[in-house]
Amino acid sequence: MKILVLNCGSSSLKYQLFDMTDESVLAKGICEKIGMEGSFNKHEAGENEIKAEIVMNDHADAIKIVMNNLINKDFGVIKDMSEISAVGHRVVHGGEDLYESVVIDEKIKKAIDSCSELAPLHNPPNLTGITACEKLMPNVPQIAVFDTAFHHTMPKKAFLYAIPYVHYKKYKIRKYGFHGTSHRYVSARAAAMLGKPIEDLKIITCHLGNGASICAVRNGESVDTSMGFTPLEGLVMGTRSGNIDPAAVLYLMEKENLSSKEISSLLNKESGVLGLAGIGKSDFRDIEKAVGEGVENARLALDIFSYRVAKYIGEYAAAMNGVDAVVFTAGIGENAPGQREEICDYLTYLGLEIDSAKNNCRGKEIDVSSEKSRVRTLVIPTNEELVIARDTIALIKK
């Protein structure tokens, strides 16, 4: 069976085509700047890598380009679209009601749309991708896999905010958590690497990228996570502030005469390491370069990032009354050995110690713990698309 996995962002579309007989990737790519000038597609299939500027007015145009690539006579990997058994869609927010992967129908689409108020940057393009696929592939099952679903197991003591309970009941204001498919994948891989049942383990997973979150996984279930009502809460990120005193937000709005939209933009798009480093860039590679050039605030930005990550790991070790393994994943987690070492230097009190030589690696699955470390430190490349493909095939078989 061949499964197409789609991840629609506000102006992008990532995709992978899996052959689920052996879970191999037949083709993958990305469409960028959809609806903008200079839109382009990058497509990889085997040894073929094609990058071309193509006008894409909307996600429907992008999906047509993806399908044309897959059946292209020169570099295509299937004869026609009938070879695709189903399409798995990443949907960011499922709210309280959508906490399992589901076959999409009209009722599910309405439920996804109702969550758009909670994820205005993510759910609308997710829904656009679903609608476009339904039109272009009318007889192919469409499956929704939710970013928030893995965190449905959090207890109330972890997900409720200390505001009047009536506002939770009326507006569903609570912690939802995100990056669920990533935390789910790497925690399962961690158990496999340790050779123990996940039901017997306490694992802290650190998804560290431009967006970043940490999750406490006990007995295979999420019991707490750093992102909250929105993906703004928690760690310092590329452009997001993470945790901040709400009174400071109100104070800043008053002093700068900012509207709610303007303060939201400031906290989501102008803060984080971008705002701290002051070099006009949020990519950690650029900030590390600035550190090498002696930019003091760039060093400060990385120090604050590492400090916050370490604090959350300590918090979740306390929440689970112990920890067996700490996992690093995503762009920074997988590819920034310096940041990993800085974070782990805070955690020696847990009995965690890494081997610097082992830790000097990028993008591979490895245990970087020292021989005497009581807590294992693992680097595991995430694979959210494979999780979506697995859930998709399980549902259509069922």
Which class is domain 197-379? alpha beta
CA end-to-end span of the chain: 14
- Going by C-alpha positions, the residue among 163, 20, 148 that lies closest to residue 96 is 148
Lowest-pLDDT range, 68-82, 206-220, 306-320, 353-367?
A: 68-82
Residue 121: what pLDDT? 73
In the chain, which segments carry CATH 3.30.420.40? 2-146, 197-379
Predicted TM-score (pTM) of the model is 0.91
Average pLDDT, the chain: 93
Write down the architecture of domain 2-146 according to CATH: 2-Layer Sandwich (3.30)
Query: Once rounded to an integer, what is the mean pLDDT over residues 99-104?
Result: 93
Query: Once rounded to an integer, what is the mean pLDDT over residues 159-166?
Result: 97
Query: Once rounded to an integer, what is the mean pLDDT over residues 167-186?
Result: 95
Residue 32: what pLDDT? 86
Residue 283: what pLDDT? 85
Catalytic machinery residues: 147
Confidence band, pLDDT 50/70/90 cuts, at residue 273: very high
Round to whole Å and give the CA distance between 321 and 41.
47
